Structure 1
Amino acid sequence: MAELFASGRIVDLILGFVALETGALLVWRWRRGRGPSPIALVGTIAAGAFLMIALRAALTGAHWTVIAGCLAASLVAHLADLRFRLREDQSRSLGRSSQSSEPGTSTERPAFNRRQQARMISS
């Protein structure tokens, strides 16, 4: 276990799990139509990934500029993620959301009818 940390391979494993989780979330959204949008995932995942890469660099004795660069990239990704989230919240509060504020699905909604028509055509 000590070698896993000393070599930085632990970070590689964690990044692999994060990649799998990201893929699973994207598939979930594609199949169910729910969950975080791909653009929302980019900032979050990138910020965390750059932090993990900075950790890997520190564990393996990389030059301080590499570590600083990864931390700076993480900050940029985090700020972009915050900006996206704040704009999204502002759009919702102004009533510009693409989703209805009413819960549930109605057969009268155009989106429901298009999905039903697509299912009928494909079967």
Structure 2
Amino acid sequence: MGTYFASGHAADVMLAALVVEAVWLLTRGRGLGLVLVMLGPAALIVLGLRAALVGAPWPWIALPLALSLPIHLADPRLWHRDNRTV
């Protein structure tokens, strides 16, 4: 298990699950923008995790984590707007 995590493959599996969820949401009528805002922060956090697991330099860990915040803050506004029109 240690090698599995150290190679970053655990994060790859999480990213694949996020892609499957995105496809599922898109087939259920959610817009692409909303899906990206809903799942984008999680994907960026997992990318930061993957970078940390494989021993990447700190900017490659910090950048996706920092980018996830503004997308995460946009989530409630878009979620509310989308659900109000349904």
Bucket of the pairwise TM-score, normalised by the shorter protein: 0.7 to 0.9
With structure 1 as the length reference, what TM-score do the two structures score?
0.61
The structure number with the bigger radius of gyration is 1
Normalising to structure 2: TM-score of the pair?
Answer: 0.83
Count residues with an aligned counterpart.
86
Distance in 2 between residues matched to 1:80 and 1:57, nearest whole Å: 25
* Distance in 1 between residues matched to 2:46 and 2:40, nearest whole Å: 10
Deviations 1:28-72 (A, max 9, x none): 32xxxxxx4332211121100000000011111111111111111
| Alignment partner of 1:80 is 2:74 | yes
RMSD: 2.0
Q: Runs of 4 or more off by more than 4 Å in structure 1?
A: none
- Identical pairs, percent: 38
- Structure with higher helix content: 2
| Structure 1 gap ranges (5+) | 30-35, 100-123
**For structure 2, which runs of at least 5 residues remain unmatched after alignment?**
none
